[in-house]
Chain A
Amino acid sequence: MLQLIDLKKRFGDVVALDGAGFTVDRGRILGFLGPNGAGKTTAMRVVFGLVNPDSGSVRWNGGAVDAADRLSFGYMPEERGLYPKMKVRDQLVHFSRLSGLSKADAQNAVDRWLATLGLSDRGGSKLEDLSHGNQQRVQLAAALAPDPELLILDEPFAGLDPIGVESLAGTLRGLASEGVTIVFSSHQLDLVEDVCEDVAIINEGRVVLSGSLDDIKNESSKRRLTIDVDGEPWVPRAAGTTVIDGHGRSHSIVDGDAPIADLLAEANAAGTVSRFMFEPPRLTDLFREAVGS
Chain B
Amino acid sequence: MSPWKQVALLAKREFKERATSKPFLITMSILVLLILAVGPAVNLLVSDETEATQIGLVGEEPTSIEPALNAQAAVFEIDIELIRYPDRAAAETALTEGDVAVVLADGSEIVFHTDVSSRLSALVGGALNTAVKADGLADLGLSDDEIAVALAPVPITVITIEEEDVEEDAKRAAAFVGTLALYISILMFGQFVAMGTVEEKQNRVVEVILSRVRPWQILVGKVVGIGLLGLLQLALLAGAAYLSAQMADIADVDLASIGLPIIAAMFFWFVLGYSFYAFLYAAVGSTVSRQEDLQGAMMMPIILIVPGYLLALVAAENPDGLAPTIGSMLPPWAPFVMPVRIASGVAQPWEILVAVVGTAAAAAALVWIGSRVYSGALLRTGGKVKLLEAWRAASE
Contacts and interface: CB of A to CB of B under 8 A. Distances in A.
A56 to B, nearest CB: 14
Contacts of A85: 17, 21
B251 interface: no
Given A71-B212, A79-B381, A97 B204 contact: no
Interface stretch (B5-13, B48-56, B62-70, B236-244): B5-13
A50 B208 contact: no
State the main secondary structure of chain A at its contact with B.
loop
A75 B204 contact: no
B203 interface: yes
A86 interface: yes
B1 A77 contact: no
B205 interface: yes
B299 interface: no
A51 B17 CA distance: 30
B206 A81 contact: yes
A81 B212 contact: no
B379 interface: yes
Nearest to A44: B211
A84 interface: yes
A50 B17 contact: no
Interface string B166-202: 0000000000000000000000000000000000000
Contacts of B209: 95, 98
B34 interface: no
B207 A50 contact: yes
A86 B3 CA distance: 24
A94 B203 contact: no
Contacts of A97: 9
Contacts of A94: 9, 13
Interface string A72-91: 01010101111111100000
Contact of A81 (B13, B21, B203, B396): B203
Interface in B27-70: none
A95 B396 contact: no
Given A79-B204, A81-B205, A86 B17 contact: yes
Contact-residue bracket for chain A: 20 to 34
A48 interface: yes
Given A84-B203, A94-B9, A97-B9, A142 B208 contact: yes
B122 interface: no
B213 interface: yes
A66 to B, nearest CB: 12
A97 B21 CA distance: 22
Interface string A3-19: 00000000100000000
A86 B208 CA distance: 15
B207 A79 contact: yes
A144 to B, nearest CB: 12
B210 interface: yes
B213 A98 contact: yes
A142 B210 CA distance: 13
Nearest to B205: A81
Contacts of B213: 98
Nearest to B203: A81
Interface of B: 1, 3, 6, 9-10, 13, 17, 21, 203-214, 379, 381, 396
9 contacts: A48-B210, A50-B207, A67-B214, A70-B212, A71-B1, A75-B207, A75-B208, A79-B207, A80-B204
Going nearest first, the 8 A-B pairs with the smallest beta carbon separation are: A81-B204, A75-B211, A100-B1, A77-B207, A79-B204, A81-B205, A48-B211, A98-B212
